Copies of this chain bind each other. A is one copy, B any other.
Amino acid sequence: MKYTHLLLKTAKESPTDEDAKNAELLIRGGFVQKEMAGVYSYLPLGLKVLRKIEAIIREEMNAVGANELLMPALSAKENWEKTGRWEMMHDILYRMEMSGGRECALHPTHEETVTPLVQQFCASPKDFPKCVYQIQTKFRNEPRAKSGLLRGREFQMKDAYSFHTNQEDFEKYYGVMTEAYHRIYKRLGLGELTKFVAASGGEFSDFSHEFQTISPIGEDEIFWDEAGKQWLNKEITPALAPPVKYSDAEELPMEDVEGKGLIGVEPLAEFLKIPVAKTTKTILFETDTGDILAAALRGNYDVDERKLKKIVGAKSLKLASAEKIKELTGAELGYAGVLNLPESVRVIWDDSCQGRRNFEMGANKTDFHTININFGRDLSEPEEFYDIKVPQPGDINPKTKKAYPVEKAIEVANIFPLGEKYSRAFKFSQEGKPIIMGCYGIGISRLMGTLVEIFHDENGIIWPENVAPAQVYLAPIGRDPKVFSVADKLYDELQSAGIEVLYDDRQDKKTGPGQKFADHELLGLPFRVVLSEKLLAQKEVEVVDRKTGKTTIMPQKKLVSFLTQ
């Protein structure tokens, strides 16, 4: 690749509409261009990186016997209705009408297509197990496209689906696939930072797993369970709130304070001049059987509806409507508390409410908050406290009684048992038993973004060798034609030796050594090879290691063996 032939232009200025380092550096380096929020074009160097990531993933998928295929982006409504997801995934499906009036959507995932497809080809027991995968463009009508390549509306995915006649066989393959994923991250240089994280099975089964790469930009938090020696995601982390830090010597008189339109616990605490830990969040839910629940948590916690659902044994929960709240509490939305609630409302207290003195709650009176509430005096002490919270850093592991080690992380993959959900929907069975399925995703463009988040410094990207768009940045400097003629030869020589080279062949006056070196640092190729009149006189070249910054002067003739060692 010659710089002057490439569609490439680096920029010094960062784009103003991007919030993440990966987008900033990839755009400045001419790897990608933003078309819309969450929609990017991959320019020549960016496409090279993407293809190298794909190639690694493809090799590992083939190694575990998965069949590569390519399914379409368009998908008929009928299949989505069979699984009930036409409505369930309403928000994120791009839908459209085809000529002739038939409705279709763009696949954000392919269960609705792959299940009936594989069904066509696997009719007898000897056809199982089978695993298929594709590397393909996915679409997700994401309301909050952000963080560059990390959360897109159109993105590259590898998605694999496995099909088994029994659970044991599925679990064995799930293990095989897990190992393949570990190999992929290792080859990408992300092995150590990428954690295997237990997650809930959602609507499908008892469990699933995520691969999470530790990074400060990550939207997720993962919790290390020292007792179980495993990482847990938020959904399944049992957590106790740390004890409150404030100490009140005595119980104060309870009173109602007017405080209108205070949104959020911080402004409320500030207004009431109390610590946030004294505030209480009370949320009213209606269950599928029509029961009303009040969930009460320390003000800085959110309720995890999955935990709550499990505790009360409800199939589903929804937030009580403003009308229902008015009917039950007599107050507008935003002022609910536990005092004076009808007896029919079951109150579930989170453990974060335990051991507090003089705490606050909504007064069940529009615009009013009650302060200095105390168990025993104003409310009977709850018989039991539960864990209904979304865990936070600082929370206590109930098994070890110590705070969880917590890391921010990027979810770089998700593998999960699909159980019989889709095989039942499409009546895909063997000898009367529905097929057991598994699903194994990797966001390829997200991985590219993750690599940049992990591997960069203040000057630019530092690509791992396995995915770098080229190994060598060949930079002849000065204006001596002889230098460029030697560079031309060296370019051919390196390429003949199987080394990928980006040859910065710019000879215009504006492009001095500073610009060339800065471009190399920004583009992040593993090695820069510098040629100058002075070096040429000694038949030498200078090699700079992008990662370590180490500079080595060596004879030209040793360059190939140095780079291929």
Contact = CB atoms under 8 A, between A and B. Distances in A.
Contacts of A43: 67, 69, 121
Interface in A120-169: 120-123, 126, 130, 132, 137, 139, 141-143, 153-154
Contacts of A153: 74, 98
A76 interface: yes
B104 A36 contact: yes
Contacts of A4: 126
B72 A143 contact: no
A99 interface: yes
A70 B99 CA distance: 27
Contact of A41 (B71, B91, B139, B143): B71
A91 B99 contact: yes
B7 A72 contact: no
A99 B7 contact: no
A259 interface: no
A117 interface: yes
A36 B113 CA distance: 11
A172 to B, nearest CB: 16
Interface residues of A, number: 58
B154 A72 contact: yes
A117 B44 contact: no
A4 B130 CA distance: 10
B41 A74 contact: no
Given A67-B6, A113-B41, A142 B99 contact: yes
B94 A70 contact: no
A8 interface: yes
A65 interface: yes
A121 B30 contact: yes
A215 interface: no
Nearest to A5: B65
Contacts of A106: 106
B41 A117 contact: yes
A257 interface: no
Given A67-B44, A141-B99, A118 B154 contact: no
Most buried by B among A5, A76, A94: A94
A47 interface: yes
A25 interface: no
Interface string A99-122: 110101010000001000110111
A327 interface: no
B117 A9 contact: no
Interface string A360-399: 0000000000000000000000000000000000000000
Given A35-B74, A35-B113, A104-B36, A69 B143 contact: no
Contact of A33 (B120, B126, B141, B142): B120
A466 interface: no
A223 interface: no
Contacts of A5: 65, 67
Contacts of A121: 7-9, 30, 43
Interface in A54-83: 65, 67-76
A96 interface: yes
Interface string A236-271: 000000000000000000000000000000000000
Question: Secondary structure of the A side of the interface?
Answer: mixed
A39 interface: yes
A42 interface: yes
Given A41-B113, A143-B100, A73 B118 contact: no
A117 B72 contact: no
A35 B98 CA distance: 14
Given A72-B40, A72-B41, A100-B143, A67 B118 contact: no
A101 to B, nearest CB: 11
A99 B33 CA distance: 21
Contacts of A71: 35, 41-42
Contacts of A36: 74, 76, 98, 102, 104
A458 interface: no
A508 interface: yes
Interface in A18-61: 30, 33, 35-36, 39-44, 46-47, 50
A72 B39 contact: yes
20 contacts: A7-B132, A9-B121, A30-B121, A33-B120, A35-B72, A41-B69, A41-B70, A41-B71, A41-B113, A41-B117, A42-B70, A47-B69, A73-B73, A74-B139, A94-B96, A94-B98, A95-B96, A98-B141, A126-B508, A137-B137
Given A47-B69, A73-B73, 11 more contacts: A5-B67, A7-B67, A7-B130, A35-B71, A35-B72, A39-B74, A41-B71, A47-B68, A73-B137, A74-B139, A95-B96
Closest 5 CB pairs of A and B: A42-B70, A99-B143, A7-B67, A41-B71, A96-B96
